[in-house]
Structure 1
Amino acid sequence: MSKPKVAFICVHNSCRSQIAEALAKRDYSAVFTAYSAGTETKPQINQDAVRLMKARYGIDMEANQYSKLLTDLPTVEIVVTMGCNVSCPSLPCRYREDWGLDDPSGQSEAAFLATMDQIESKLADLAKRIEQGVI
């Protein structure tokens, strides 16, 4: 069976979904293929997220990632919304869940790090459920 394609979605595809994509590619590329996108785009990925991902994980998100629209995605099997508190458009998939994460943009470094911790934990759980065939 081929690896499922997972899309991480938030409004601007500039912070939480980008972090999820980067960490998923680093840690779970053997389990699923990660993408991210948004209903709108920003000219660049959130610079606090870029800085902290480099400092904490050694990941340069700007090297291979950029803000993308939902229409830029391939067909995906799993959709994970970040918790945007807006009405998400329908994106065809076989499974969908919402992680309910607050956007750390404009907040303290601690808020970003806490969000990264939450994303790491949720990614581990998602990967485990995919490996077990639960989703």
Structure 2
Amino acid sequence: MTTPSVLFVCVHNAGRSQMAAGWLRHLAGDAVEVRSAGSEPADRINPVAVEAMREVGIDIAGQVPARLTWDTAEASDVIVTMGCGDACPVFPGKRYEDWKLTDPAGQPLDVVRQVRDEIGAKVAALVADLRRD
């Protein structure tokens, strides 16, 4: 069986998608190829998201926001969108999930913690589902 690849996409690739990628790396290890990107990437990761993830032992500080490319999306098995709207390309045969999550940009740490925990639960469910496939 080949290693499945999951692409997390949000607008700035600085908060939600980076937290989701961090959770997936943490929970699945090498069993899943992890990618993240943004339709309009920021120049750096949201420092409050970094702090919230650090609290649960996951370090995303070294990640860099990346622009969503056609090739990255096409090469991914699962594409999870988080508020990127029409900027996210659609490919036949791909598995899509759209997670409705609060954007952590500009939010205080207590709100970002809630977003972090919600993402963690969604990623855990995704990992369990991928293991069944």
So what's the TM-score if we normalise by structure 2? 0.88
- Report 1:1-135 matches (<5 A): 1-54=1-54, 56-63=55-62, 65-71=63-69, 73=72, 75-82=75-82, 84=83, 86-92=85-91, 94-133=94-133
Per-residue deviation at 1:15?
A: 0.3
Number of residue equivalences: 130
Give the stretch that moved more between structures: 24-33 or 122-131.
24-33
What's the RMSD between the two structures over aligned residues?
1.8
So what's the TM-score if we normalise by structure 1? 0.87
Q: What amino acid is aligned across from residue 68 of structure 2 in structure 1?
A: L
Residues 68 and 122 of structure 1, relative CA distance in 2, 3 Å threshold: same
Q: What amino acid is aligned across from residue 68 of structure 1 in structure 2?
A: A
Per-residue deviation at 1:85?
A: 6.3
* In structure 2, distance between residues paired with 1:69 and 1:114: 26
The answer to whether the 8 Å contact 2:39/2:84 transfers is no
The answer to whether the 8 Å contact 1:31/1:127 transfers is no
Unaligned runs of 5+ in 2: none
Runs of 4+ in 1 over 6 A off after TM superposition: none
Unaligned runs of 5+ in 1: none
Question: Percentage identity across aligned positions?
Answer: 34
